[in-house]
Amino acid sequence: MKNKKQRGRKSYRFVDRTRLQLSGGSGGRGCTSMFHIGRKRKKKPDGGHGGNGGSILIIADPVEQSLRWTRPHVTAEAGAAGGSNAKYGRNGKNTIIRVPCGVEKVEIADLDKPGSYVVIAKGGRGGYGNMTFASSNEPMPPPEVIAEYAEPDLGESCRIELELKLIADIGLVGFPNAGKSSLLSATSRATPYIAPYPFTTLNPLVGYIEYRDGFRVCAADVPGLIAGASEGKGKGHDFLRHLERTKALLYIVDAAGIDGRNPISDFEILMHELSAYGDGDMLNRRCLVVANKIDLLLKDEREEIYTRLQEKAEEAGIRMETNVIGISAGATGEGLPLLTKAIRDTVTSSEADKLKEEQYA
Ligand SMILES: Nc1nc2c(ncn2[C@@H]2O[C@H](COP(=O)(O)OP(=O)(O)OP(=O)(O)O)[C@@H](O)[C@H]2O)c(=O)[nH]1
Ligand SMILES: [Mg+2]
């Protein structure tokens, strides 16, 4: 009987792109009313102002994982109408849409830090009550003018497209079946599907590698890349997008070449695809190179593959934190303690790089 981890958890629907129709609440109508002073015929305008409509805010919340919950149409609450006796209408409540950190609203905002927010559809202003004209010096304007002032503004309306780019400390880059999910499963509590066929993982998944002193590294298991991914082949753009914001990268190859693949040329293709994607900046990121499935190789074969991968990495000039690491993520677990330590060092170094950059910027 397979245990829970081997069976894999039922996957949730991951949505990383969504379209929304947003409308701010309209303002409340201003009131037109007259207050009769004593028994005299004198009257005083006392209509209160309408409340302002609520706005729609989009806030980055680290608890959220996907854009799935979002309803396609969202309208904020309208402001209440003003009342007689100078009563102001209540303002409409703001509607808050919580999205995962890493959501981009193109050209408007980048919600990368927890709590960062943007107001998208502003609520309408409430109408003025006729008490605006209660001054004793000025004569009352005609009713049409009062009615025009009492009219509230409608809330802003817009259609937007949100796009999620995962923010993880380290991203796993590899061909389908290389053992990315096996590695995430072996080092964290995440329970991805693992199976001996390519494209088992269809959506990116995040897991936390936890260390004894409480330090945590967030690792993103991204679906396998293939040659031509940087041109969009095999949904390459959708997957590479999630690696764009990771602090460091972990290249993983199937050293045993189970599917008749060659680990060295696989590694070259992976580096080529990353350099060809976007502005090619991903290749300059701190990284680790990992040879998986070494349990299927003899000692000499392992050493040869490590040396050749190391040569290729040095030729390409990528910023490796340590030499090539051999592991067996899905079988014996060999090499995993060394790898988890190296992952921590790589992430810490890239964080230090970022701090330095910010200081000198
Ligand atoms: N012998 C051996 N098999 C392994 C090892 N790691 C993973 N596998 C097997 O390789 C196959 C693919 O593993 P996955 O972890 O699903 O690979 P993946 O890179 O996530 O694949 P995709 O999700 O399709 O991109 C599974 O059958 C695993 O059992 C290992 O260290 N040794
Ligand atoms: Mg997988």
Q: Please say if the pLDDT value at position 39 is more than 80.
A: no
Structural domain harbouring 354: 166-360
The rounded distance, in Å, linking the Cα atoms of 181 and 165 is 19
Same domain for 268 and 174, yes or no, is: yes
Check which CATH number belongs to the domain holding 245 and give it. 3.40.50.300
User: Tell me, what's the pLDDT at 357?
Assistant: 84
Q: How far apart, in Å, do the first and last CA atoms of the chain sit?
A: 56
- Give per-residue pLDDT as tens, 289-311: 999 999 999 999 999 999 999 99
List the one residue out of 35, 45, 37 whose CA is nearest residue 129.
45
Q: Please say if the pLDDT value at position 124 is more than 80.
A: yes
Ligand 1 nearest-atom number relative to CA 292: 31
Ligand 1 nearest-atom number relative to CA 178: 19
In a domain, 343, yes or no: yes
In a domain, 185, yes or no: yes
- Summary mean pLDDT of the chain: 88
- Helix H or strand E encompassing 358: helix 336-360
List the one residue out of 274, 275, 332, 272 whose CA is nearest residue 302.
332
User: Tell me, what's the pLDDT at 258?
Assistant: 85
Q: Please say if the pLDDT value at position 269 is more than 80.
A: yes
Collapse the DSSP code of 342 into the 3-class scheme (helix H, G, I; strand E, B; otherwise coil) and give the result.
helix
Mean pLDDT for the stretch of residues 83-101? 93
Same domain for 150 and 277, yes or no, is: no
Q: Which two tokens stand for residue 283?
A: 């290749």
In a domain, 6, yes or no: no
Planar angle of CA 73, 74, 79, nearest 5 degrees:
140
The protein residue whose alpha carbon is closest to atom 8 in ligand 1 is 330
Q: Which residue has the higher pLDDT, 44 or 6?
A: 44
| Residue/partner pairs of 141-146 with CB below 8 Å, 24 or more apart | 143/32, 146/32
Mean pLDDT for the stretch of residues 31-49? 82
Q: Which of 116, 143, 164 finishes a domain?
A: 164
Q: pLDDT class for 251, splitting at 50, 70, 90?
A: very high
For residue 266, the ligand closest to its alpha carbon is 1
Pocket test of ligand 1: the residue of 3, 14, 172, 182 to mutate, having most ligand atoms within 8 Å of its CB, is 182
Same domain for 191 and 294, yes or no, is: yes
Q: Please say if the pLDDT value at position 41 is more than 80.
A: no
List ligand 1's pocket residues with C-beta within 6 A.
174, 176-182, 194-196, 198-201, 223-224, 292-293, 295-296, 328-331
Q: Please say if the pLDDT value at position 117 is more than 50.
A: yes
Same domain for 141 and 187, yes or no, is: no
User: Tell me, what's the pLDDT at 2?
Assistant: 52
User: Tell me, what's the pLDDT at 113?
Assistant: 84
Q: pLDDT class for 11, splitting at 50, 70, 90?
A: very low
Q: Which residue has the higher pLDDT, 280 or 334?
A: 334
How many domains, in total, are found in the chain? 2
For the residues of 223-266, what is the DSSP string, one character each?
Answer: PPP-TTGGGTGGGHHHHHGGGTT-SEEEEEEETT-TTS--HHHH
Same domain for 80 and 149, yes or no, is: yes
The rounded distance, in Å, linking the Cα atoms of 280 and 278 is 6
For residue 294, the CA-to-ligand 1 centroid distance in Å is: 12
- Give per-residue pLDDT as tens, 143-186: 888 899 999 999 999 998 888 888 889 999 999 999 999 999 99
Ligand 1 nearest-atom number relative to CA 327: 31
User: Tell me, what's the pLDDT at 79?
Assistant: 96
CA-to-CA separations, 303 to 208, 295, 307, 309, 325, in angstroms, rounded? 30, 13, 6, 10, 10
User: Tell me, what's the pLDDT at 44?
Assistant: 83
Overall residue count recorded for the chain in this entry: 361
User: Tell me, what's the pLDDT at 13?
Assistant: 65
In a domain, 346, yes or no: yes
Same domain for 215 and 292, yes or no, is: yes
Mean pLDDT for the stretch of residues 327-347? 94
Looking at residue 197, its amino acid is: Y
Mean pLDDT for the stretch of residues 202-210? 89
In a domain, 320, yes or no: yes
The rounded distance, in Å, linking the Cα atoms of 115 and 134 is 44
For residue 177, the ligand closest to its alpha carbon is 1
Same domain for 130 and 266, yes or no, is: no
Mean pLDDT for the stretch of residues 133-152? 83
User: Tell me, what's the pLDDT at 30?
Assistant: 95
Q: Please say if the pLDDT value at position 349 is more than 90.
A: yes
The rounded distance, in Å, linking the Cα atoms of 27 and 30 is 9
Q: Which of 164, 184, 215 finishes a domain?
A: 164
Q: pLDDT class for 133, splitting at 50, 70, 90?
A: confident
Check which CATH number belongs to the domain holding 39 and give it. 2.70.210.12
In a domain, 280, yes or no: yes
In a domain, 229, yes or no: yes
Same domain for 35 and 154, yes or no, is: yes
Q: What percent of the chain has pLDDT over 90?
A: 54
Residue 173 contacts residue 270 (beta carbons within 8 Å): yes
Looking at residue 85, its amino acid is: N
Same domain for 173 and 150, yes or no, is: no
Q: Please say if the pLDDT value at position 69 is more than 70.
A: no
The protein residue whose alpha carbon is closest to atom 2 in ligand 1 is 293
Ligand 1 nearest-atom number relative to CA 194: 16
